[in-house]
Amino acid sequence: MPDRVALRAWILSQGEELLTGRTVDTNAAFLAGALTDLGLRVLGASTAGDRLDDIRDVILAAAARADVVICTGGLGPTGDDLTAAAVSAAFDRPLALDPVALDEIRARYAGLARVMPESNQKQALLPHGSLRISNPVGTAPGFMLTADTGARLYFLPGVPREMRRMWEDSVRPSIQSCSTLRPPRRHVFQVMGLGESQLQDLLGSTVARYPGIELGFRARIPENDVKLVAEEGTPGFELCRDEVRALLGRHCFSEEEGKGLAAVIGDALLARAERLAVAESCTGGLVADLCVSEAGSSRWFERGWITYSNRSKQEELGVTESCLTTHGAVSIECVREMAAGARKVSGVQWAVAISGVAGPGGGSASRPVGMVCFAVDGPSGAHARTLHFGDRGRAQVRRFAAATALEMLRRQLLRIE
Ligand code: ATP
């Protein structure tokens, strides 16, 4: 394989549904990240529909430009699954039955107590000279071949779950084994409460003092990832990372990729052997969903209420009639009573309450769309605040509110002001 530092990659996606917008190309996004993390330089990506000539052309163009090509899709049993035939045409490699691939497909059907339909035999036809890539979670096997240009081409099914598993099990080890890659050094800070432009203003000049270290952002709304990336061995990486950490301060909630706010809260609660209850109005269960999406959350998540109506706030949480008539359901006073009620009824140490105007209707001069009230009630007392997210659409207001509630809880739990 050519020079390891400059190993170039190209991503191909196949499927008419990608060109019509019916399917979003998440495979390309996943592979772009995975290849970059491995230390390859992704030069580009192309998509072909269900025409054999088009598929053949994009394969040939990619093989001419890159050292590693990864193609997903078009390996199914139906007539519009043309990838193997296109490879055959591109490199003049006749298709031949791979008996092991056929056995694997049959075994997969047998495992599901079904007989393999005849049409699936097509999936065991692989271009001459290619190496089969087993698919442990689906029927379509993948394959790999080396083109005359020296490019290594990997063909995987389009189903994301199958593609990812085969990437992990076979493709990544194969790429790693045939070249000494130097994955870039990276460090990620997960941040709440600062937008991209604020982050750029806060960190830009500091990181610019370190040549070779790149500052990047990924908005996950409302969270943001701040990334430092550099070639392995770039001097000053640790110093730069420490400076950025100090500048971000309390806004950074995690430096572990994949460990989100709810997981951080779970750890903090577990460390204190305490539990959480949530009382939600406008977020309608989003906070509870974020919590129970964490494996092992039963050890710290107690229960949640969706108290949408005034009656449910009173019946379930003991919110008083006078509070609702005097201050309204979207008020600091109401969320304080909701949180206190949730704590009392559940008997746990912590409760979070949220009530707001998600929009698009229902706003008023005193309670505009996007206004949300939060309360966190815990062993050290109750804290409440109102925030205005603006009229940014119902879904976003709700997402902002759910993440903000968790962030408020994190700060109380970790005693961060
Ligand atoms: P199968 O044997 O399941 O048919 P295949 O290799 O033929 O596998 P496709 O038929 O191309 O795969 O795609 C199967 C499904 O996988 C699509 O309907 C789509 O939902 C999903 N899919 C395909 N390509 C992509 C992609 N690039 N990104 C995200 N999803 C995809």
What is the sign, positive or negative, of the torsion defined by CA atoms of 200, 204, 207, 213? Answer: positive
Mutate to test the pocket of ligand 1, among 83, 121, 159 (most ligand atoms within 8 A of CB): 159
Cβ–Cβ < 8 Å for 11, 29: no
Distance from the CA of 259 to the center of ligand 1, in angstroms? Answer: 29
Supply the DSSP symbol for 183: P
Supply the DSSP symbol for 169: I
Angle at CA 60, nearest 5°, toward 54 and 61?
Answer: 90
Q: Is residue 257's pLDDT more than 80?
A: yes
Find the mean pLDDT for residues 230-253.
95
- Count Cβ atoms below 10 Å from residue 324 Cβ, excluding itself: 18
pLDDT-based confidence at 128, cuts 50/70/90?
very high
Residues in the chain: 417
Distance from the CA of 370 to the center of ligand 1, in angstroms? Answer: 39
- The answer, yes or no, to whether any atom of ligand 1 lies below 6 A from the CB of 307, is no
What's the whole-model pTM score?
0.76
What is the rounded (10 degree) CA torsion for 132, 136, 139, 141?
Answer: -10
Find the mean pLDDT for residues 38-65.
95
Distances (CA, A) of 280 to 262, 333, 335: 16, 15, 9
Find the mean pLDDT for residues 355-376.
94
Residue-level pLDDT at 193 = 87
Distances (CA, A) of 343 to 272, 353, 415: 17, 10, 19
Find the mean pLDDT for residues 192-215.
95
Among 358, 355, 306, smallest CA distance to 328 is for: 355
Which of 75-84, 139-148, 290-299 has maximum average pLDDT? 290-299
For helices 310-317 and 332-346, the axis angle rounded to 10 degrees is 40
Residue-level pLDDT at 2 = 39
Mutate to test the pocket of ligand 1, among 23, 25, 119, 137 (most ligand atoms within 8 A of CB): 23
Q: Is residue 400's pLDDT more than 80?
A: yes
DSSP 26-82: HHHHHHHHHHHHHT-EEEEEEEE-S-HHHHHHHHHHHHHH-SEEEEES--SSSTT--
- The answer, yes or no, to whether any atom of ligand 1 lies below 6 A from the CB of 135, is no
In this structure, which residue's CA is closest to atom 11 in ligand 1?
Answer: 73
Q: Which atom of ligand 1 is found nearest the CA of 47?
A: 27
**Model pLDDT for residues 322-338, shown as the tens digit of each residue:** 999 999 999 999 999 99
What is the average pLDDT value for the chain, to the nearest integer?
94
90 membership: H or E segment, kind and range: helix 83-91
- The answer, yes or no, to whether any atom of ligand 1 lies below 6 A from the CB of 119, is no
What distance in Å separates the CA atoms of residue 283 and residue 319, rounded to the nearest whole number?
18
Q: Is residue 221's pLDDT more than 90?
A: no
Higher per-residue confidence, 115 vs 59: 59
